[in-house]
Amino acid sequence: MGIGKIIFTLIYIMIYPTLILFLSGDWLWVEGWIFSIWLTTLCFTTIIYLYRKNPALLAERYRKPGTGDQKGWDKYVVYCLAVGFLGWIIIMPLDAKRFGWTTSFPLFLKILGGIELIFSFFLFFRAFADNAFLSPLVRVQTERKQEVVSTGVYGFVRHPMYLAALLLFTGSPLLMGSIYGLLFGLALTLLLAIRSLGEEKMLLNELEGYADYKKKVKYRLIPFIW
Helical axes 107-130 vs 160-176, angle rounded to 10°: 150
What phi and psi values does residue 217 have, to the nearest 5 degrees?
A: -105, 105
Q: Write the pLDDT tens digit of every residue in 13-52.
A: 899 999 999 999 999 999 999 999 999 999 999 998 999 9
Does the pLDDT at position 207 exceed 80? yes
pLDDT of the residue at 9: 83
In the chain the domains, ranked by start, together with CATH numbers, are 3-216 (1.20.120.1630)
What phi and psi values does residue 109 have, to the nearest 5 degrees?
A: -70, -35
Q: What are the residues whose beta carbons fall under 8 Å from the beta carbon of 82, sequence distance 6 or more?
A: none
pTM over 0.85: yes
- Mean pLDDT value across residues 76-91: 96
- Mean pLDDT value across residues 82-107: 95
- In this structure, what DSSP letter does residue 104 have? S
- Mean pLDDT value across residues 42-65: 92
**Beta carbons of 46 and 128 less than 8 angstroms apart:** yes
3-state secondary structure of 109: helix
- Mean pLDDT value across residues 200-218: 95
Q: Write the pLDDT tens digit of every residue in 163-197.
A: 999 999 999 999 999 999 999 999 999 999 999 99
3-state secondary structure of 223: coil
Q: How confident is the model at residue 12 (pLDDT cuts 50, 70, 90)?
A: confident
- Where b means 16+ CB within 10 Å and e means fewer, 120-145 reads bbebbbbbbbbbbbbbbbbbbbeeee
CA distance 74 to 67: 11
**Beta carbons of 56 and 144 less than 8 angstroms apart:** yes
CA distance 39 to 25: 19
**Beta carbons of 46 and 124 less than 8 angstroms apart:** yes
CA distance 38 to 1: 25
CA distance 149 to 179: 36
